[in-house]
Structure 1
Amino acid sequence: MSYSADPGMCIGHTHLKVSDLNRAIAFYRDVMGLDLVQLYGDQAAFMSAGGYHHHIGLNTWESRGGTPPPPGHTGLYHVAFLFPDRAALGRALANVVDHGVKLTGAADHGVSEAVYFDDPDGNGIEIYRDRAPEDWPRDAEGNLQMVNARLDLNALIAEGRAST
């Protein structure tokens, strides 16, 4: 039996490796018109249009001061696939695990639940579901406060399998 992705799945945000965070923020703010939603220390920034938690993530975790990849090399940190609800995400995760794909990470970000792995060429993949905006974590002033908390993958898979 083959797996068919939930028809509500779509591509979400893009997270890019950059060599100079301030230069990248300026470009995506000034040239692309995105708003700076959150700085994550001096190593990452999250930017969006329309108040979404982020359409573009920028980071220097592996690339500070680096150069663009030469032609023929990949450079995307990850592409994200947004699922319409937790059960659909759980079904997708179960399929990934069933195919023996090694997970590289998982997190509850407060705004979303996300699972990470690589494609065969080493390009990062994220599958995730968003929480409702009214449930996103915010500080006393109403500013978005994304986090990196533990995500219970077994519970997520169980929810996905129970929904089929």
Structure 2
Amino acid sequence: MTSPSYVVPAGTHIGHVHLKVADIDRALGFYCGLLGFELQVMYGTDAAFISAGGYHHHIGLNTWESKGGSPPPPGTTGLFHTAILYPTRADLANALKRVRDSGVTLDGASDHGVSEALYLRDPDQNGVELYWDRPKDQWPKDPDGKLTMFTRRLDLRDLLAQATI
């Protein structure tokens, strides 16, 4: 791999993800009903655009090539997960409480030093990460100042104690 001669500007970010789903209503039940995203617009009966805070869309859902379909089998390429960044630890705690109360099972929960993350699956078995970032000045660094991320067990009881709902 060669060093790039161009680096994207620091303000660049991923704008949205668009997921193939088997059933729009079922997907909306998960993303809007459980996670709390807001439906911005339906695109006919085969696609929906949802967001947080009134943005045109953070997540697109469609059945254009997948209506009634099944998830790809393990061992194939594709999306590992969609990561949803919450603004505060309390917001992540509220999401955990809603997920737990709904009976959805977590695949995992990790402290990465820079962030705390919950891992689960949507009804179409797409991976979903719910997380919050610690303030940058709290990120772990080695003695030379280089970022040192890790994966440790996340204390869910401690996180749930932060829930406000």
- Same fold by TM (over 0.5)? yes
Gaps of 5+ in 2: 15-64, 73-77
Q: What is the identity, as a one-letter code, of the residue corresponding to 2:157?
A: N
CA deviation map 1:4-57 (0-9, x unaligned):
xxxxxxxxxxxxxxxxxx6xxx6xx749846xxxxxxxxxxxxxx639xx97xx
Tell me which protein shows more strand as a share of its residues: 1
Alignment equivalent of 2:130, drawn from 127, 133, 143: 127
For 1:153 and 1:82, the matched residues in 2 are separated by 17
What is the match of residue 101 of structure 2?
98
Q: Cα gap change, 1:126/1:139 in structure 2, threshold over 3 Å: closer, same or farther?
A: same
3-state SS of paired residue (1:128): strand
Q: CA deviation at 1:94?
A: 0.5
Q: What is the identity, as a one-letter code, of the residue corresponding to 1:98?
A: D
3-state SS of paired residue (1:76): coil
Alignment of 1:20-39 (within 5 A): 30=4, 33=7
3-state SS of paired residue (2:128): strand
3-state SS of paired residue (1:127): strand
Q: CA deviation at 1:87?
A: 0.6
For 2:112 and 2:146, the matched residues in 1 are separated by 15
The answer to whether the aligner puts 1:141 opposite 2:144 as a matched pair is yes
For 2:7 and 2:120, the matched residues in 1 are separated by 30
Runs of at least 4 residues off by over 6 Å? none
Alignment equivalent of 1:77, drawn from 76, 80, 91: 80
3-state SS of paired residue (1:97): helix
The answer to whether the aligner puts 1:111 opposite 2:114 as a matched pair is yes
Q: Cα gap change, 1:121/1:32 in structure 2, threshold over 3 Å: closer, same or farther?
A: farther
Q: What is the identity, as a one-letter code, of the residue corresponding to 2:85?
A: L
Q: What is the identity, as a one-letter code, of the residue corresponding to 1:91?
A: N
What TM-score does the superposition give when structure 2 sets the normalisation length?
A: 0.56
Gaps of 5+ in 1: 1-21, 35-48, 56-70
RMSD: 3.0
What TM-score does the superposition give when structure 1 sets the normalisation length?
A: 0.56
What is the match of residue 153 of structure 2?
150
For 1:101 and 1:31, the matched residues in 2 are separated by 45
CA deviation map 1:91-115 (0-9, x unaligned):
0110011111110011100000000
What is the match of residue 39 of structure 1?
none
